[in-house]
Structure 1
Amino acid sequence: MNTKLLSALTATAAATALFGAGAPAQAASFGANGIQFDKDTTLLFNFKQSHGMYQSSLGIYSVDNSAVSLVKTLFSETKSSDNQWENEWKGTLGNTVLGGSEVFTFLANKIYTLGLDSGWGGSVYSTSSLNSGSQQAVFGGHSQLWSALDKESTSTFQAAGQFTNGLGSLFNGGTLIGLDDRGNSNDSDFQDFTVSAEAVPEPMTMTGLALGLGGLVAARRRRASKTTS
């Protein structure tokens, strides 16, 4: 590989890395202390499973001085579980929840929260302060959370109450979010409704990569033309 081509490749990689590296710096908070970003940020949410005995829906709410307003419903159960109490009221995609993926853009500097409405005792929120300080959600990309999925025992999620921040994994493989609906005497199992969230790459990142590759191709064509002439 000649020196000019290597330099062009290096410049392209550096530009792409620069655009991509800026993404995590956008985020201000994504966890039990609230959801807020410094720039408009788009996330992809995927339903994983539910274990609540009530028919629930999960939505995104805006927060203004502790007043919450529904902005978008992400996922709604068509029934409380796949087969009533079996497997701890387990609900799965295509059976209990029909739509499995949703995209939402969080506007810069606005405060949001996730809210789980179980239809029996009001809503709980992923922001602890909106639950009078009670933690009703866990966030994290840790294997302890992911390994608890599809398990009949709630012990792993019960031990995961320490996970209050999903920011680090949001831009690196995705964050798992588990909420507890306060049923069963508020057992804090955090698996009554579980979803994942991950950041969608900014258009600028893909544009930077395309421009870099386009410039590389053009440079190679110019060199080829000079050689043949």
Structure 2
Amino acid sequence: MNTKLLSALTATAAATALFGAGAPAQAASFGTNGITFGQNQDVQFKFNESHGAFTSSLAIYEVNGFALTNVANLFSETKSSDNGGASDWKGTLGNTVLGSGSAFFTFLANKVYTLGLSSDNGMVYSTSGLNLNVASTGSQQAIFGPSSSLWNALDKETTATFQAAGQFTNGLNSLFNGGTLIGFDDRGNSNDADFQDFTVSAEAVPEPMTMTGLALGLGGLVAARRRRASKTTS
């Protein structure tokens, strides 16, 4: 096989691998309208911190209409906060949530999921349509957005309402590009919509075959470059 053809093939393999690692599957959703993917998708969750007066637990539920099935428990607090009401009931890893603060889950293709936060104040879901009130309409109890910008925007140390929360409803793109922050409001303090009662981050995990293809593609590019250099010096 000639050098130019080999280079073209390896470059194509590398580009394909990079695209697969950085792009979401078609027909996917990761936000307040629900969680679903067109193919199996691995996601790594990490606990950030909590600012709620209730002891909370976060789990993943499979959704079939309004029938919900708990399929994975992610994080559970052992107490409501590190030190009572200090810093707006702040709870941190190692104090309120024990362990590594990291959890892995594989979302199966074409199934519908939601995140559910349970506490002494009841249950809220990341899918707005599941948070029915007396008027039978869904309320937004979670936000999804780019980790860094959304985390900085949240007024985490006070009970001030995060006024711009309504626009952060879609975390699909950031899931594949640096990570998505997910913040919950547990309906405490008259449902103040501060969305910092329980916060976690989520990031897509590239498929092993994608990473292997990337390594092979880059390896082929290096080999082709070395052969060209060798011919030039000879």
Deviations 1:161-214 (A, max 9, x none): 221110111100000000011111111111100000010011121111232245
Q: Which residue of 2 aligns with 1:21?
A: 19
Contact 1:80 1:89 in 2 (8 A): yes
Alignment of 1:1-229 (within 5 A): 4=3, 8=6, 11-22=9-20, 23-26=23-26, 28-99=28-99, 100-118=101-119, 120-132=120-132, 133-141=138-146, 143-148=148-153, 151-155=156-160, 157-216=162-221
| Aligned-partner SS, 2:152 | helix
Supply the distance in 2 between the matched residues of 1:112 and 1:123 (Cα, whole angstroms): 15
**Paired amino acid for 2:67:** A
Structure 1 vs Structure 2 CA RMSD: 2.8
SS of 1:109 mapped into structure 2: coil
1:15 match: secondary structure: helix
CA distance in 1 between partners of 2:184 and 2:129 (Å): 15
Residue 145 of structure 1: CA displacement?
1.5
Q: What is the CA–CA distance in structure 1 between the aligned matches of 2:80 and 2:147, rounded to whole Å?
A: 28
**What letter is aligned with 2:115?**
L
Q: Residue 59 of structure 1: SS of its match in structure 2?
A: strand
Task: Classify the secondary structure of the residue corresponding to 1:157.
Answer: coil
The share of aligned pairs that are identical, in percent, is 72
Distance 2:88 2:174 in 1: 28
Count of residues in correspondence between the two structures? 225
Residues 144, 160 of structure 1: 8 Å contact kept: no
TM-score by length of structure 1 reads 0.86
- Distance verdict in 2 for CA 1:19–1:220, change over 3 Å: closer
Q: Which amino acid aligns with 2:117?
A: L
- Secondary structure of 1:38's match? coil
User: Cα distance, 1:156 vs. partner?
Assistant: 6.3
- 1:20 counterpart letter in structure 2: L
Structure 1 unaligned segments of length 5 or more: list them.
none
Q: Is the helix fraction higher in 1 or 2?
A: 1
Q: Distance in 1 between matches of 2:106 and 2:169?
A: 22
Distance (Å, rounded) in 2 between the aligned partners of 1:207 and 1:125: 36
Please list the CA deviations of residues 150-169 of structure 1 after superposition, one character each: whole Å capped at 9, or x if unmatched. Answer: 83134463432221110111
Query: Could you tell me how far 1:220 is from its partner in structure 2?
Result: 7.5
